[in-house]
Amino acid sequence: EDESPKKVPRGKDSSDSVIPTIMQHHLKGVLALFKSTHPDVRYRALNVMSTALKMGLVNPYQCIPSSICLLTDPDPEIRDKAISVLNIFNDKRPSDLRNRAINGIEECFEFQSLVNPKFDPLSEQSSTKETLRGVSRLYMLISSNKNDRDKFLKAMITKIKSAISNPAKKDSKSRKNTGEDDPEEVTLRLAFFATILADLPYDHDEPLLIVFYIGKLLGTEGAQMYERVSSIEDTDQSSGDSLFADCTMTMRFSVLLKLQQFLKEAYQLNEAKCDTWTPYLSNKASMQKCGRKLDMLDFTLADVPPCPVVGNEPLIRKHFKFFMSEMEKDSVKLQSSYKKKPRKTKKKRKVVSENFDEIDHEKEADDEDDAWVPGPKSRNKKKMRR
């Protein structure tokens, strides 16, 4: 009897509808295996998803973030397989890859927290940095033009802004009621994003864009925090909850200061170049090329004090001192660059009128318009012709 396998005849419509349905039903479970602590499981799950993608059995949009997170896998073979899968996305669904890239970076943080017990973005670990360089391969895929580069970097900066605006409450019960994240986790995620931004392979004006937006944050929220910490240091009167919250925020600003300083030094960005560059105008200043000048310089957050502990006032004071020291390195720029500029008002025509009430009313309106300008008031007296 012939025992060779024979193809079972099936209806074309039936097979075409059932198999994709089954695969799509199990896709969530397959993607969950990407975060397994066992490398073999991760590799096999990636192979299954890759095959399903090539056969058109699953929705590619759902697979992109999980594939990106494997770019930071400790196993180089899995990293290479992940980049080959992302190349498929880039060929067939380039817009989806660019739109979901930031979600993939967020999953990288979760993935590292699960599979790497020594993962700490605030410490100096060469092994962690080596795995994070897989993200550079993603950046090279999606940075083919300026719009794609800017979109990705602005999405990263938006995540950084959300970390700055995230309140740091020590009480886990109150955080659970409001749905807020753990303050230490938010800070570590911010440090993770900063490490990635420091290590991406920039060739154009990307460092200037990052420095520009970080500078705006430091010149507004950062300057306000500097004044607050200064008052705390002077009066030495603040509750434990308030001290912890302020300390956590100063630590986040310290991470941004270190990133800004690193980019300026690694890409040799002087103040004149940073001041003339703007993302709002299409001029020569916004199209500058600034490749990395110091390749041997490594980004590190090892000198930033560790995450604050509630009740550890010496550590909290150490954070305050570190933050103020970093801010004062650029204090002149912070005091002058982001002041609100006076509003330009249209000059009014000289009016000939015998009605003095109308003239007084017009003068009061001018005074109100000038009153909002910070600093000494300067009013131009109008000469009225009678």
**Interval 171-187: pLDDT, tens:** 444 444 445 678 889 99
Residue 125 is predicted with a pLDDT of 61
3 state SS of 245? helix
Tally Cβ neighbours within 10 Å of residue 363: 14
* Residue among 298, 156, 276, 285 nearest 214 (CA): 156
In which band, very low, low, confident or very high, does the pLDDT at 56 lie, cut at 50, 70 and 90?
confident
Task: Give me the amino acid identity at 322.
Answer: F
The pLDDT value recorded for residue 189 is 93
Length of the chain as a residue count? 386
Q: What is the pLDDT of residues 259-277, one digit of tens each?
A: 999 999 998 888 888 888 8
Poorest-pLDDT segment among 36-40, 51-55, 189-193, 369-373: 369-373
Of the candidate ranges 94-98, 126-130, 243-247, 330-334, the one whose mean pLDDT is the lowest: 330-334
Predicted confidence band of residue 5 (pLDDT cuts 50, 70, 90): very low
What rounded mean pLDDT belongs to the chain? 77
Cβ contact 99:67 at 8 Å: no
Q: What is the pTM of this model?
A: 0.76
Confidence band, pLDDT 50/70/90 cuts, at residue 203: confident
Nearest to 144 by CA among 98, 192, 190: 98
* The two three-digit tokens of residue 71, written as one number: 């770019």
CA nearest to 320, candidates 247, 221, 222: 247
Work out the angle at residue 51's Cα, subtended by the Cα atoms of residues 49 and 57, and round it to the nearest 5 degrees.
80
Q: What is the pLDDT of residue 181?
A: 76
**Nearest in space to 244 (alpha carbons), one of 167, 320, 168:** 168
At residue 1 the predicted structure's pLDDT band, cuts being 50, 70 and 90, is very low
Torsion sign over Cα 28, 196, 257, 126: positive
| CB within 8 Å of 366: residues ≥ 6 apart | 345, 348, 379, 382
Cα maximum dimension of the chain: 121
CA nearest neighbour of 214 among 181, 257, 184: 257
Burial class (CB in 10 A: 0-12, 13-18, 19+), 64: buried
